[in-house]
Structure 1
Amino acid sequence: MSEPNPDRDQEMPLVSHLAELRTRLLRCVAAIFLIFAGLFYFAQDIYTLVSAPLRQYLPEGATMIATDVASPFLTPFKLTMVVALFLAMPVILHQIWGFIAPGLYKHERRIAIPLLVSSILLFYAGMAFAYFLVFPIIFHFFASVTPEGVSMMTDISSYLDFVMTLFFAFGVAFEIPVAVVLLIWIGVVDVAYLRKIRPYVIIGCFVVGMVLTPPDIFSQTLLAVPMWLLFELGILAGSLIRKRRGEQDGEDQAEDDHSGDQPPAPLP
């Protein structure tokens, strides 16, 4: 039987919960603001770095353009704010963990901490995968299919919206192992069922790759194969967690049976 968390048994008033939630939200906002303040001076350099995968495939003499009056300022500003949010994710997750941890049992804490850490690492890995591998392929393809007589001169705001969408899509796609482990852990699905639907998952990965990448088999495979491997990694991790949880439940049951075999204490 799982050990109850002493803190969980002590119910906090609603006002105390709301006050703690407000404090942790303010800490998250403060962390984002401080990181943004430190990066704002480098906003133009950050945009230059993010736009590098496209600029290297622009035709000779072509440049990116700004069609709105305020775009040269607002676009790097928005990008820096998003970067600050991404960099502040460890602090945000720490605050979320501090808020929900008192309501968890001991065995729930043991699985929740690795899931929180792995989720942010996988999200960063997905963004890095998109920037270093997918972006060059996509922009090279777009540049190669530009019609004759058309100059490829991308608006900086449109480019930012496009890459932010891909960053988020790949970051979420790389969360597949965490999602699989959670589904197995809470009992929504079991490992045998996930293995049974593996062919449909593989097809789904290629469909997602077809939607998010240019219409060529190489770039689609470049996204679909990692998604499938991450799915398999989630199944493996989920199997280990379920096995360990089963062993723990067996030990707890054995302890309960042993305690039940003890003779009752003599009456005074």
Structure 2
Amino acid sequence: ILSLPILAWHAWKFFEPALYDNERRFVIPAIGLGFVLFLAGITMAYFFVLPLGLKFLLGFQAESLSPIITVDEYLRFATRLVLAFGIVFEMPVVLVLLSMLGIVTSAWLRKYRRHAIVGLAAASALLTPADPGTMLMLLAPMLLLYELSILLVRMVGQRERRGESPA
């Protein structure tokens, strides 16, 4: 997680010479927004979801039993949860870029909303540990981000139809 900005910088320096000036105008805001959304995702996971998820999971114990959590298990759980939230929060950037490439439209995203909800629920189940609490805590922002993505894609599409620059 800590090396992500350095990796992004090197990736940018690798691809930058191949891009036209008008393409660079789109990439720089996308990288900035992606970075902010990734930070928002990991912040939400670390400060809100991780404590609630641990409290939820530790609440299943009997009074005569005490949980034995190793550092390895805790770090694996926390890292997986934080990364899942960071990656999921990138959805608006990905969908807007796909829209700019002409692959998706806001009408298409609205038409297949039900399919997306099922897919997002499945992804949420795969990305989080095997408890419904953290799955729902990831699914709720995923659904909100999907709806936000539809609005952003529609705005980008309207600007493109008017001949304006979407960036």
User: Given the two structures, how large is their TM-score scaled by the length of structure 2?
Assistant: 0.84
Match of 1:239 in 2: 154
Match of 2:31 in 1: 116
Identity %: 35
Match of 1:139 in 2: 54
Q: Is the 8 A contact 2:105 2:157 kept in 1?
A: no
Q: CA deviation at 1:173?
A: 0.8
Q: Is the 8 A contact 2:120 2:143 kept in 1?
A: yes
Pair 208,167 (structure 1): closer, same or farther in 2 beyond 3 Å: same
Q: Which one has a bigger Cα radius of gyration?
A: 1
Q: CA deviation at 1:238?
A: 2.0
- Mapped to 1, the partners of 2:60 and 2:54 lie a distance apart of 10
Pair 102,242 (structure 1): closer, same or farther in 2 beyond 3 Å: farther
Instruction: Tell me how many residue pairs correspond in the alignment.
Output: 162
Match of 1:215 in 2: 132
Match of 2:71 in 1: 156
Q: Is the 8 A contact 2:100 2:156 kept in 1?
A: yes
Q: Is the 8 A contact 1:205 1:225 kept in 2?
A: no
Ranked by relative contact order (alpha carbons within 8 Å, sequence separation 6 or more), the top structure is 2
- Mapped to 2, the partners of 1:215 and 1:221 lie a distance apart of 6
Match of 2:145 in 1: 230
Pair 157,221 (structure 1): closer, same or farther in 2 beyond 3 Å: closer
- Mapped to 1, the partners of 2:46 and 2:26 lie a distance apart of 31
Match of 2:113 in 1: 198
SS at the partner of 2:69?
A: coil
| Structure 2 alignment gaps of length 5 or more | none
Q: Please list the CA deviations of residues 119-138 of structure 1 after superposition, one character each: whole Å capped at 9, or x if unmatched.
A: 11111111111111211221
User: Given the two structures, how large is their TM-score scaled by the length of structure 1?
Assistant: 0.55
| Structure 1 alignment gaps of length 5 or more | 1-81, 250-268
- Mapped to 2, the partners of 1:237 and 1:95 lie a distance apart of 28
Pair 210,92 (structure 1): closer, same or farther in 2 beyond 3 Å: closer
